[in-house]
Amino acid sequence: MSDYSKYIWYNSNIIPWEEANTHVMSHVLHYGSGVFEGIKCYNTSKGPAIFRLDDHIDRLFKSANSYRMKVDISKEEIINGCKDIVSANNLSDCYIRPIIFYGYDTLGVNPKDCPLNTAIACFFWGAYLGDDGLQKGVDVTVSPYQKISYKAMPTTAKASGQYMNSLLSVTEAKNRGYDEAILLNAEGDMAEGSGQNLFYIKDGIVHTNDEKSSILLGITRDSILTICKDLNIESKIHRFSLDDLLSADEVFFTGTASEVTPIRSIDGNLISDGNVGELTLKLKDYYMNIVLGNNDQYSNWLSLLNHNSPVNSL
In a domain, 301, yes or no: no
In a domain, 310, yes or no: no
In a domain, 309, yes or no: no
Identify the CATH number of the domain in which residue 204 sits.
3.20.10.10
Residues 68, 164 within the same domain: no
3-state DSSP of 221-236? HHHHHHHHHHCCCCEE
Q: Tell me the one-letter amino acid at 240.
A: F
Residue 133's pLDDT is: 75
Residues 87, 52 within the same domain: yes
Number of domains in the chain: 2
User: Residue 167 — left, alpha, or beta (φ > 0 → left; ψ -120 to 50 → alpha)?
Assistant: alpha
State the average pLDDT for the chain. 94
Residues 150, 30 within the same domain: no
In a domain, 306, yes or no: no
Q: Is 158 a catalytic residue?
A: yes
Q: Does 312 have pLDDT greater than 90?
A: no
| Burial of residue 199, with CB atoms counted within 10 A of its CB: 0-12 exposed, 13-18 middle, 19 or more buried | buried
Residue 4's pLDDT is: 78
pLDDT digits (tens, 9 = 90+) for 85-121: 999 999 999 999 999 999 999 899 999 999 999 999 9
Q: Does 128 have pLDDT greater than 90?
A: no
pLDDT digits (tens, 9 = 90+) for 180-223: 999 999 999 999 999 999 999 999 999 999 999 999 999 999 99
Residues 155, 100 within the same domain: no
In a domain, 303, yes or no: no
Task: Compute the distance between CA of residue 67 and CA of residue 37 in angstroms, rounded to an integer.
Answer: 15
Catalytic residue among 40, 83, 147, 158: 158
In a domain, 237, yes or no: yes
Domain that holds residue 206: 131-293
Residues 110, 153 within the same domain: no
Q: Does 1 have pLDDT greater than 60?
A: no
pLDDT digits (tens, 9 = 90+) for 248-289: 999 999 999 999 999 999 999 999 999 999 999 999 999 999
Output the CA torsion sign for 266, 269, 274, 277: negative
User: 13 to each of 2, 77, 210, 301, 303, how far by Cα in Å?
Assistant: 23, 11, 37, 26, 21
pTM: 0.94
Q: Which residue, 108, 125, 142, sits at the end of a domain?
A: 125
Residue 283's pLDDT is: 98
Residue 101's pLDDT is: 98
Q: Which residues pair with 47 in a beta bridge?
A: 44
Residues 147, 282 within the same domain: yes
Does residue 288 contact residue 43 with C-beta atoms inside 8 Å? Answer: no
Does residue 160 contact residue 34 with C-beta atoms inside 8 Å? Answer: yes
Q: Which residue, 103, 125, 147, sits at the end of a domain?
A: 125
Give the ranges where the chain is alpha helix by DSSP (H).
Answer: 27-31, 53-66, 75-88, 131-136, 163-175, 219-230, 242-246, 278-291
Q: Which residue, 91, 110, 125, sits at the end of a domain?
A: 125
In a domain, 189, yes or no: yes
Residue 307's pLDDT is: 62
Residues 141, 116 within the same domain: no
Residues 108, 141 within the same domain: no
Helix (H) or strand (E) holding 261: strand 259-266
Residue 64's pLDDT is: 98
Residues 150, 247 within the same domain: yes
Q: Does 313 have pLDDT greater than 50?
A: no
Does residue 276 contact residue 136 with C-beta atoms inside 8 Å? Answer: yes
